[in-house]
Amino acid sequence: MFKPKAIYFEKEIENYPLGKELIDKYKDIPKIEIENHNAIEEMRKKENKEFGNMKRNLIIGVRKTHKFVENHKISDYLVPYTSSGCTASCLYCYLVCNYNKCAYLRLFVNREQMLEKIVKTSLKSDKELTFEIGSNSDLILENTITNNLIWTIENFKNTEKGKLTFPTKFDMVEPILPLEHKGKIIVRMSVNPEEIINRVEFGTSRLQGRIEAINKLKEAGYQIGILIAPVIFVENWKELYLQLIQRLESELSPKVKKTLFFEIIFMTYSYVHIKINQEAFPNAIDLYDKDKMTGRGKGKYWYKNEIRQEGERFFREKMKQYFPNNEIIYIV
Ligand code: SF4
């Protein structure tokens, strides 16, 4: 259970039920009032090596921007929802690029307002829309602090139209198993080979737990997808990812395999990651591989074309062999 070192909070949160609840829940934790969760001067000045320590704090505020971004992969819209950032420290975390050092967990207490916008948009549309609510954080993790996922599912289930989806790297799914969700929730579990989880995805759930969570969620009627992501082309990647695919094939329940779909995403990386990781995790594996990666504008890197093509060939071939009846929605 995450116990914050300090709470940084906007005064306004006291006007919201969840804000009051969190202040009370953490009454024994030191608190610092802040003007704006987007600009905490004290945090901005911290050195890169403080990155891990900064993630031990909790920031609580009110979300002010509610702009939906169109998306054409699994969902129709990416929706800013109840949190951003996370307490874990995956070395490649994409939130680090967007927020630099502020990838710590921020909670937003105006959940009623956020869900209402989703419901209204969904009802206005002629088609059945899917909303991605987990692109800025990990909602299974966040739920252990706020119960927001339980609240969301309970308050969304009776909406006439629309679905919600989110990815996760955590296995604490027990609280949502008994909920009535009416098939409106798509959970996408993100997986990587055990060795990569151990060396790169610090603070997340182990592979075994994630596989068990998938089976339990399916048993509880949730729609399930698996993200093999991000694929990291380490020295022995073919061996590691083959073992992962074989393990999924043997440990996922027949019920899961019946309707499961996959997304496969190759890792991208950045100069900001290199700098933070060198100083904050000096003993960790260096994910920047100058022989395999190339620039992608503005301090960003991705794998060279030939590596990505080889990766795509590999995954298409192995997935056809082990999961012939399951769709790969995309490989990027
Ligand atoms: S679990 Fe997700 S949000 Fe958290 S550090 Fe890892 S990649 Fe980032």
Any atom of ligand 1 within 6 Å of the Cβ of 57: no
3-state secondary structure of 163: strand
- Whole-number Å distance between alpha carbons of 241 and 221: 28
- Whole-number Å distance between alpha carbons of 136 and 69: 12
Q: Whose structure tokens read 């950045």?
A: 270
**160 C-alpha vs ligand 1 centroid, how far in Å?**
32
C-beta of residue 140 within 8 angstroms of C-beta of residue 170: yes
Mean pLDDT computed over every residue of the chain: 95
Any atom of ligand 1 within 6 Å of the Cβ of 165: no
C-beta of residue 186 within 8 angstroms of C-beta of residue 130: yes
**89 C-alpha vs ligand 1 centroid, how far in Å?**
6
- From atom 7 of ligand 1, which residue's Cα is the shortest distance away? 93
User: 120 is written with which tokens?
Assistant: 């209204």
3-state secondary structure of 13: helix
SS (H, E, C) 183-251: CCEEEEEEECCHHHHHHHEECCCCHHHHHHHHHHHHHCCCEEEEEEEEECCCCCHHHHHHHHHHHHHHH
Mutate which of 92, 136, 138 for ligand 1? The one with the most ligand atoms within 8 Å of its CB, which is 138
Q: Who contacts 27 (Cβ-Cβ below 8 Å, separation ≥6)? A: none
C-beta of residue 60 within 8 angstroms of C-beta of residue 36: no
β-sheet bridge partners, residue 201: 90
Tell whether the model's pLDDT for residue 100 goes beyond 70: no
Determine the pLDDT at residue 297: 86
Q: What is the pLDDT of residues 200-245, one digit of tens each?
A: 999 999 999 999 999 999 999 999 999 999 999 999 999 999 999 9
Determine the pLDDT at residue 39: 82
Sheet holding 223-231, edge to edge: 69-70, 77-78, 130-132, 163-168, 185-191, 223-231, 261-266, 328-331
Phi, psi of 58 (to 5 degrees): -125, 130
Q: How confident is the model at residue 101 (pLDDT cuts 50, 70, 90)?
A: low
Amino acid letter, residue 242: L
**218 C-alpha vs ligand 1 centroid, how far in Å?**
23
Average pLDDT over residues 252-269: 98
Instruction: Calculate the alpha carbon distances from 114 to 58, 182, 237 in Å.
Output: 20, 21, 40
Q: What is the pLDDT of residues 25-74, one digit of tens each?
A: 999 999 999 999 988 888 888 888 988 899 999 999 999 989 999 998 89
Determine how β-strand 163-168 pairs with β-strand 185-191. Answer: parallel
Tell whether the model's pLDDT for residue 94 goes beyond 90: no
- Whole-number Å distance between alpha carbons of 125 and 129: 7
Q: Who contacts 326 (Cβ-Cβ below 8 Å, separation ≥6)? A: 257, 260, 261, 262, 319
**300 C-alpha vs ligand 1 centroid, how far in Å?**
18
Ligand 1, residue 167: give the atom nearest the CA: 2
C-beta of residue 294 within 8 angstroms of C-beta of residue 229: no
Determine the pLDDT at residue 290: 96
Domains of the chain: 7-331 (3.80.30.30)
pTM (2 decimals)? 0.97
Q: What is the pLDDT of residues 295-325, one digit of tens each?
A: 998 899 999 999 999 999 999 999 999 999 9
C-beta of residue 176 within 8 angstroms of C-beta of residue 223: no
Q: Whose structure tokens read 């289930």?
A: 157
C-beta of residue 186 within 8 angstroms of C-beta of residue 153: no
In 270-303, which positions are buried (b, 16+ CB within 10 angstroms) versus exposed (e)?
bebbbebbeebbeeeeebebeebbeeeeeeebbb
Higher pLDDT, residue 129 or 46: 129
Mutate which of 2, 56, 91, 93 for ligand 1? The one with the most ligand atoms within 8 Å of its CB, which is 93
Mutate which of 95, 105, 197, 232 for ligand 1? The one with the most ligand atoms within 8 Å of its CB, which is 95
% of the chain with per-residue pLDDT over 70? 98
Ligand 1, residue 137: give the atom nearest the CA: 3
